[in-house]
Every structure is written in structure tokens, then in C-alpha cells.
Amino acid sequence: VAAPKAFDELKTRLAQVTDINRVRRILGWDMQVMMPAAGAGARGEQQATLDRIAYDIFTAPETGRLLEELRSYEDSLDPDSDDASLLRVSRKDFEKTVRIPADLRTEIVKAGTEGFMAWRLARPANDFESFRPHLEHHMELRRRYVELFPEADEPYDVLLDDYERGMKASEVRVVFDRMKEELVPLVAEARELYGDDDGTLARAFPKDKQEAMAREIIDLFGHRENSWRLDPTVHPFASGGGVDDIRITTKYEPTGLESFFASMHEYGHGLYEHQVAPELDRTPLGGGVSLGMHESQSRMWENLVGRSRPFWRFFYPRLQERFSPLLDDVDEETWFRAVNIVQPSLIRIAADEITYNMHIILRFELEQDLLAGNVEPRDLPSEWNRRMDEYLGIEVPSDADGVLQDMHWGTGTIGYFPTYSLGNVMSVQIWERIKEDLPDLDDRLERGEFAPLREWLGEHIHKHGRKFTPQETLERAVGSRIDPEPYLAYLRQKHGAATPA
């Protein structure tokens, strides 16, 4: 069937919206990486204008009319086709977006900015009380938002769906409860196994060499030419303006090698966007399917590759040489332990592979309690501190390094945190499947051959973009929905008492 004229009209509208959203990403990148600080005011106006225009084009009655007119065309198509997927996904996006009254949307955006400003002052001042009214307002707005979708099984689902389309809180709870059960004892075993930090990573790695290493690893992992940038920022992130305009950032500290791991992490995000099928470009399907799936990619390159034995067998001699004489006295085994050490700590973003998940589970539980009214914002710091002790045996010395540490709640972002751990879980499901398809994967990594892995990911995950839901995408790649067992087995095997690290 030839596509009807209405389909071209719809695609043109959606291409405009996509273009604007990509421009907004470039402007966001620019703001964090390039913009002179004093330009923030004008930039805020510009972003608000573009956001408003994209919203108006997307939610215009004409979009709804075209989607209606195209129902029979959609029914005539293979549901897996690009056209059917475009209609299915756009219809869902449209129906969710138009359900939100413009004034609530404006209020949420405004509260997000104000809350962020308040959080930015409250954190260094260790002053939760000055931020509390903003959190209360955020929760009130979120409850109004949730009420617009009475068909949801539970309130949290509505928020989670914005970041992980189709995922239910009940499913996350099953996964996280199982993880909690295993991880709390595993942390204790790993503590025993690794012992205390020997300070290897506290050495002074020269900044210019850190930067050269970051560039080297991005190019070794591989990408098309003239299509990537790597820049320094305060908070590493990945962004870009299209499949051939990928921009990742990292942070160079005077000591340690976090810049290197952050680069591998952001490479994973960047590669996902880089390998979306060109046919999906300039459509709402062109991009990663969800935060969780994105995180599965970043964590795979950071941890399953970048903290693995095969990788360091290949890369450690290079690293030693590049930083010589800094690591001349550190052998591969010592290095491998240093980059894998498990040690409960206060700050999520500095946490190791295992305890990271406990930070997430704690936030997921508190978000549900806040939304349900089981925990009031005023009780949040004490609840936070109680659970940090229970889950990680950590005493929290201040709210600055406790409940105020993350930006997310500052901006009113609720439902986002669980996707980090969902990504960890999915990364190992995918990894196990890759090892079935590429039995010599470890040998390849040990020889510094990353193309087979990169290509597998492109073919089985990246190219689909947003055509399917995150869980459908996972199922197509590995044969099942989310399942924590492979991830738990991987952690036990790597960090557990039964096998030496």
C-alpha cells in the first residue's frame, strides 16, 4: 500500500518537532559546555520558546486529526514496520501529551526551575528546610499529574512511564526486592574479599594524559569518522544533534581516573544514538528507547567491558606506558582490584558496581512513599538516613551528602531513579546473549577488537530506536523481559566469596 498523503503530512509535522527537540539538546549541551555563564538568562528564554513551539505543533488538533485519519492505514501494515511503529508510538505520545493541561505543564516547568535554584543553594548550605517547600510543591504537582491518568494500576506507574515507557512499578518492585535480598549479604562478602582501598586510584594522574586516554578509548571502541566530540564538563553527560553529531563529556579530576570510566560510560550512551537506523532519523522514533535501555548500554561499556579482565589484559600495559612512571609499581592484578573494589559509601555517583543499586532502591522506595503520602517531605532526611544505615551500614553525616546529594528531586523529577538499576540488570541479560552469539567475545576484547560487540548492539538493539517499547526491545534481543538473575549471578561470580575477584 502506498502511504496516503496524510501520512506525509504527519511525518512533516513530526520532523519539525524532532528538529526542534534536537536543537534543544544542542542548546543544552552548549549551555553546559560552551556558553559564557552570563548568557543563561537569554538561553532560558530561547529554550522556553522552542519548547512551547514544539508543544504547540505536536499537540495541535491537526496532529490528532491526521492520526485518526491514518488508523486504517496503520491497521493495514505489518506492526513491526517503520510506518506502523511511527503511528503507534506517536499516537501514544500524543494521547499522553494532550491529556496534560497547558497550565499544569507550565507550572511543572516553572517549579522545576525554581526547585533547581533552591536545591543548588540548599545543598552546599546543608539546609534541607529551605528546599522542603519546593519538594512539597513538586509532590503536589505530581499528584495532580497522576490524577489525569486514572486508568493506571498505581500512581507511580504514570511517572515511571515518562522515562521507561510501559514499565510498571509492580514489576520494578519484584526485581528490586530480589536484588535487595541478594545484594545486602553480597556487599559484606565483597568487603571481606577486597579489603581496604590501597590508594592506587588516589594517585595524581596528569590531566593532559587523562584527556589523551579518554580520546584514545573512544576511538578504540570505535565510531564513524568526523561525527563525535568529547569535551570536559562538571557533570558528564551524552548529547548530540543527530546520528552523526554525537557529543559526550567527561570530567578530569587532579587525582584518580574517573574521567576514563565516565568516558566509557558516555561512549555507551553515544553509541546507542549513533547506531539508530538512518531511516528513523528526523522521526520521533530516532533515538534511544528509554533511560533504562540507555543505561544498559552505558553501564555495559563502563563495567562489563571497562571493568573486565579481558579489557584490562589488553589495556593495562598501554595505560601503564602512557602514565609511566606513575603506575610502574602497580601490577595488573592490583590495578584490576583497584577499579573493582566494593565499599559502601555516601554518594550514589561514586558508588561501586554492587552498592550503586542499593542507592537506587532506597530512592525508588522513598519516591513511592512520598507519592503515597506515607513519608512526608519533612521526615525525608531521617527516613533517608535510617535506610542508608539499614542497606549499607553507612551513617550520613549531613543532608548535603545525604538526601540533598542529587539534582533529580531538586527539579521535581520523580520516577527517573529506578531506570539506572534497570539498566544494570538489562545490561547483563544482553551481555549473556551476546556471549552466546559471539562465543569468542572475551578473546576479542583481550585483543582490543570491539567491532563485533559494537555491531551486535547496533543490529539487535540500537537500530530499532523507539519502534518498540523498552521491554519489547529487550525481548527481541534476548528472548525475555527484565530478569534480575543473570545480573545477580554476574555480581556473585565477580565479587562473591565463592570465587576470587
Find the binder of a copy of itself among 196, 225, 234, 500 (CB under 8 A).
Answer: 225
**For residue 295, what are the contacts with CB-CB under 8 A and spacing of at least 6?**
419, 420, 422, 423, 424, 427
Which residue, 156, 461, 97, 54, is CA-closest to 290?
A: 461
Nearer to a copy of itself, 196 or 225 (CB): 225
Catalytic residue among 74, 266, 295, 302: 266
Nearer to a copy of itself, 36 or 199 (CB): 36
**Cβ nearer to a copy of itself, comparing 39 with 479:** 39
Compute the residue count for the chain.
501
Amino acid letter for position 262: A
Q: How far is the CB of 323 from a copy of itself (least distance, A)?
A: 24
Is 37 a binder of a copy of itself (CB under 8 A)? yes
Q: How far apart are CA 293 and CA 287, in angstroms?
A: 11
Going residue by residue from 393 to 432, which x/- string records binding to a copy of itself, judged by CB under 8 A? ----------------------------------------
Sign of CA pseudo-dihedral 363, 291, 211, 231: negative
Residue 419 amino acid letter: T
Dist. CA 267–CA 249, nearest whole Å: 9
Please say whether the beta carbons of 494 and 449 come within 8 A: no
Out of 6, 28, 35, 73, name the contact with a copy of itself by CB under 8 A. Answer: 35
* Rounded least distance, CB 42 to a copy of itself, Å: 3
| Total interface residues for a copy of itself by CB under 8 A | 40
Please identify, among the stretches 48-56, 154-162, 410-418, 430-438, the one whose residues bind a copy of itself according to the rule CB under 8 A: 48-56
Q: Of residues 429-468, which lie at the interface with a copy of itself (CB under 8 A)?
A: none
Instruction: Please report, for residues 65, 222, 322, the alpha-carbon distance to residue 216 in angstroms, rounded to integers and kept in the order given.
Output: 51, 10, 11
41 binding a copy of itself? (CB under 8 A): yes
Find the shortest distance in angstroms from Cβ 218 to a copy of itself: 12
| Site track for a copy of itself across 177-216, x = CB under 8 A | ----------------------------------------
Residue nearer to a copy of itself on the CB measure, 248 or 404: 248
Cβ–Cβ < 8 Å for 276, 462: yes
At 400, the amino acid letter reads A
CB of 162 to a copy of itself, least distance (A): 25
339 neighbors 307 (Cβ within 8 angstroms)? yes
Cβ atoms of 136 and 377 within 8 Å: the answer is yes
Cβ-based nearer residue to a copy of itself, 50 or 407: 50
Of residues 8, 39, 331, 493, which one binds a copy of itself by CB under 8 A?
39
**Does residue 229 interact with a copy of itself by CB under 8 A?**
yes
Task: Give the contact letters, 1-30, x = binds to a copy of itself (CB under 8 A), - = no.
Answer: --------------xx--xx-xx--xx--x
Smallest distance, a copy of itself to C-beta of residue 40, A: 8
Phi and psi at residue 307, to the nearest 5° = -120, 25
Among 94, 228, 311, 417, binds a copy of itself (CB under 8 A): 228
| Using rule CB under 8 A, residue 234 touches a copy of itself | no
**485 among known catalytic residues:** no
Question: How far, in Å, CA of 418 to CA of 430, rounded?
Answer: 18
- The residue among 174, 25, 478, 449 whose CA lies nearest residue 296 is 478
Q: Dihedral sign for Cα 121, 125, 130, 135, please.
A: positive
Collapsed DSSP state (helix, strand, coil) of residue 43: helix
User: Rounded CA gap, 185 and 198, in Å?
Assistant: 23
Q: Which of residues 247-286 bind a copy of itself (CB under 8 A)?
A: 247, 281-282
Nearer of residues 1 and 38 to a copy of itself, judged by Cβ: 38
**Pairing between β-strand 228-232 and β-strand 245-250 as defined by DSSP bridges:** parallel
Helices (H), 231-308: 258-274, 291-299
Given the rule CB under 8 A, which of 42-50, 131-139, 260-268, 486-494 is the region that contacts a copy of itself? 42-50
- Residue with the three cell numbers 545477580: 488
Q: Is 498 in the site for a copy of itself (CB under 8 A)?
A: no
Asked whether 137 and 409 are in contact (CB, 8 A), the reply is: no
CA distance 349 to 150: 35
CB of 96 to a copy of itself, least distance (A): 23
Q: Which residues bind a copy of itself (CB under 8 A)?
A: 15-16, 19-20, 22-23, 26-27, 30, 34-39, 41-43, 45-46, 49-50, 52-53, 224-229, 240-247, 281-282
Active site residues: 266
